[in-house]
Structure 1
Amino acid sequence: MNSDIRKWARQCLQCQRSKVHHHTVTPPKQFNLPDKRFQHVHIDIIGPLPPSRGFTHILTAINRFTRWAIACPLNDISAENIALVFLDRWVSNYGVPTTITTDRGAQFQSTLFREFTRLFGVNHISTTAYHPAANGLVERFHRQLKSSLMAQADSSKWSEHLSLVLLSIQTTVKEDLGCTPAQLVYGTTLTLPGQLVPSNDSAEVNISDFTNRLTQQMLQLRPVASRQSLQKVQVNKNLLTSKFVFVRVDAIRKGLQHPYEGPFLVLKRTDKYFTLNKHGKPETVSIDRLKPAYTDSKHETLATPTPMNNQKVNSTPTLPLFTLPPVQTRSGRQICKPARYVHFID
């Protein structure tokens, strides 16, 4: 009886939607190291920020090989302007990348940006929703950039400080690389404002020899994997076999909104994401947002129906309800057992 009670309590859908235990934490997935510089670029948008000279956002892009980054202030974040700025500030200076990784922002999922990447033959990778770790390289750059801008005397004029802050980041030695991003891009260090002193070295430099040496040094460069955090892995073993899962709501929730939604039917499993049937459509969700759903095996009819003719679909499907005939007691009273408990009565 105790096991039946535990099983019945465990299968309460409302409880599973409401209670948060251990969040799922999967080990970070390693990107394939790029073969050469400027091959793989991560792009994102910072904002909205306090207006500064009319700018409210920043377009950022960072190269996986060199960690070289750009930060472009924007007053228009339409897909058309994003494509034009990236073309002007990145492609014209460093060439067309082979791969671009972005989040699922409206600008990057638009038809225009999709055609932009197709026209240039770029492989566009989109991360899963509410999972910034999948674009962690640019997110880490955002943290460094924003902390530097906030440290300025007047952070409201962030657009005026952006250039010098970016210079300091490009000339800072990266522990995992052992050098600065500028050295990997230009083969030498950049002159900083405090170093604007004429050098006493007046030796003539043979341009041809210098070019050959620089080319040989660049050819010997090898990519270095980015440093991973030492976060403890926490994956529920039942995720491997669970037919239904709950999805954590990472958006801003209302007062009594459940922290999880679902359950949803699992269509496909990989080591980093599941494909779920959400409201009749397949959707890819990171495993870090999932937890297994415990349901009654005798009545697993939780699959979300496909909406037809604009029919609204309940985002929290429930078990089907059955009616039981009333039972008459010895005293003549008629008892109707609650329909929600019928599934647990043999």
Structure 2
Amino acid sequence: LKQDQNSTLPSIEEEIDQTKEDSSQIKSKNTLDIERLKIEQGKDSIIQQKIAEVMNNPVKSSYEFKDGLLFKLMIMREGCNMKKKLIYLPSSMINDLLQVYHSDPLTGHFGVQRTYLKIKNKYWWPNMKQSITQYIQSCLPCQQYNISRSKIPGRLQPIPPSEGPFQLVGMDYCGPFKQTPRGNKYVLCLTDYFTRWVVAAAVPDCSAQTTAEALFNEFICKYRVPAVILSDQGTHFHNQLMEAMSKLVGYNHIYSTTYHPQPNGMIERFNATFVPQIAKFENKEDNNWNEFLLPVVFAYNTGTHSTTPYSPFQLLFGREPRLPTDGQISSFTFRKPNDYYEQLKKSMKIIHMHGRENIIRKQHQYKTQY
């Protein structure tokens, strides 16, 4: 690609320098390393008391002291005797951890439950959920931008859940927003109805051509051709170009009716979530909201969804996401591709079955409450 002489885009050298600078900033902010955990646990009187109890009677303890760290042993799930080791977080590090897991762009300023579910598989401390609740309730950006969502009266007709990922994908626009330095004013959002996986693309307008290009480049080329796309009847979706594209690529494009747009309600609910999340990070003077778009989508896709209840990442890829907050991996195991594939097939079958059952259960629940 040729760079225009009048272009304001940075050169490759400038990009590399900026990347180095950003990396050094990230490293300086990484306060949750093992050595600091050991030091802070050593200063915590309650943790030191627990360590003494474990050393005196390790068999009957619900804690484990290993490699200089105290862990809390928690049963993984009901009916399973396997226990998971969670780092006992010192009280001096709770605010630092909540800053990383709630206030960072890659964790997205989401609510109590999503934040709690991301933390609870890695760390533990007494009254953990209460601490998280208090922290988020005192978060100024959340207080400023979070909105309550009341139910609209009427009859709810949920869409039956599909059998797997990308069989039914909702598509909608969010915006217009203030124009960014890159010229973007809208966001095209696509949401998979099975996994709840979200793809979002910042675009300069919502014309038919822009819609077709973003759909093809950001979704179809990166994931697959969906079986069905559901959208409203806006002219950016309902036009000859989009109709020709659906026939050429091979998907069925259906539309919600003008007076009954609820079938595409799931993606509209995400849009209602997305707007305040972006607002918590953007610089109003620079109008740089598109710089936080992908981190916020990442935070959403790696957070546990209340309906399934898995993260969209886990339902799509069959494994738990690894987050920047998880630190460096100390060791890993080599596996043959065939062995990994067979294990992945088994895992995906179980996860998809449970996910679909939970979607149906939640839909019945929503229908009775609507």
TM band (smaller chain): 0.5 to 0.7
Would you say 1:219 and 2:349 are equivalent positions? yes
Q: Aligned with 1:106: secondary structure?
A: coil
* 1:178 maps onto 2:306 in alignment: no
Instruction: Decide whether aligned partners of structure 1 residues 107 and 182 sit closer, same or farther in structure 2, where only a CA change above 3 A counts.
Output: same
Question: Residue in 2 aligned with 1:300?
Answer: none
Report the AA paired with residue 198 of structure 1. Q
1:45 is the counterpart of 2:173: yes
CA apart distance, 1:126: 0.9
Are 1:200 and 2:327 an aligned pair? Answer: no
Return closer, same or farther for 1:201/1:117 CA change in 2, 3 Å cut-off: same
Residue 38 of structure 2 is matched in structure 1 by none
1:259 counterpart residue number: none
Task: Provide the secondary structure at the position in 1 that maps to 2:222.
Answer: helix
1:31 to 159, 168, 171: 159
Q: Deviations over 1:228-248 (max 9, x none)?
A: 646877xxxxxxxxxxxxxxx
What amino acid is aligned across from residue 90 of structure 1 in structure 2? F
Helix, strand or coil at the partner of 1:93: coil
For 1:128, which of 235, 248, 257 is the aligned residue?
A: 257
Contact 1:25–1:232, Cα closer than 8 Å, also in 2: no
Matching residue within 151, 168, 177 for 2:280 = 151
Equivalent residue for 1:82, pick from 211, 220, 226: 211
CA distance in 2 between partners of 1:194 and 1:33 (Å): 33
Are residue 92 (structure 1) and residue 228 (structure 2) matched?
no
Deviation at 1:130, TM superposition (A): 4.9
Structure 1 or 2: more helix by fraction = 2
* 1:264-309 per-position Cα deviation (integer Å, ceiling 9, x unaligned): xxxxxxxxxxxxxxxxxxxxxxxxxxxxxxxxxxxxxxxxxxxxxx
Q: Give the residue type in structure 2 aligned to 1:95.
A: R
Asked whether the 8 Å contact 2:282–2:289 carries over to 1, the reply is no
TM-score (norm 1): 0.56
C-alpha distance after superposition, 1:82-134 (max 9, x if no partner): 11110111111221111111011111111111121122332222112254423
What is the alpha-carbon distance in structure 1 between the residues aligned to residue 210 and residue 168 of structure 2?
21
Distance 1:68 1:212 in 2: 24
**1:60 aligns to what?**
189
Please give the alpha-carbon distance, in whole angstroms, between the structure 2 residues aligned to 1:81 and 1:64: 23
Determine the C-alpha separation between the residues in 1 that align with 2:166 and 2:247.
18
* Structure 1 residue 186: Cα displacement: 1.3
Opposite residue 124 of structure 1, the aligned amino acid is H
CA distance in 1, matches of 2:333, 2:184: 46
Letter in 2 for 1:49: F
Contact 2:159 2:263 in 1 (8 A): no
SS at match of 1:60: strand
* Partner Cα separation in structure 2 for residue 79 and residue 115 of structure 1: 11
* 2:275 match: secondary structure: helix
Task: Give the aligned residue type for 2:185.
Answer: T
Cα offsets for 1:139-167 (capped at 9, x unmatched) = 01101111111111525311011111111
Output one character per residue of 1:38-88: Cα deviation in whole Å (capped at 9) or x when no partner.
110000011111111210000000000100011100013211221111011
Q: Secondary structure at the match of 1:100?
A: strand
Distance 2:279 2:171 in 1: 22
Q: Identify the residue that residue 263 of structure 1 maps to in structure 2.
A: none
Deviation at 1:180, TM superposition (A): 0.4
For residues 232 and 204 of structure 1, the distance between their equivalents in structure 2, rounded to whole angstroms, comes to: 49
Check conservation: 2:195, 2:315, Cα contact below 8 A: yes
Separation in structure 1 between the aligned mates of residue 335 and residue 243 of structure 2, nearest angstrom: 46
Equivalent residue runs for 1:171-320 within 5 Å? 171-195=302-326, 197-220=327-350, 221-222=352-353, 223=356, 224-225=359-360, 227=363, 229=366
Are residue 141 (structure 1) and residue 270 (structure 2) matched?
yes
- 2:187 partner amino acid: I
Greater strand proportion: 1
Identity in percent:
26
1:114 aligns with 2:243: yes
Aligned-partner residue type, residue 94 of structure 1: Y
Gaps of 5+ in 2: 1-151
Asked whether the equivalents of residues 174 and 187 of structure 2 are also in contact (C-alpha less than 8 Å), the reply is: yes
CA distance, structure 1, for counterparts of residue 213 and residue 224 of structure 2: 14
Calculate the aligned-residue CA RMSD, in Å: 2.2
Shift of 1:183: 0.5
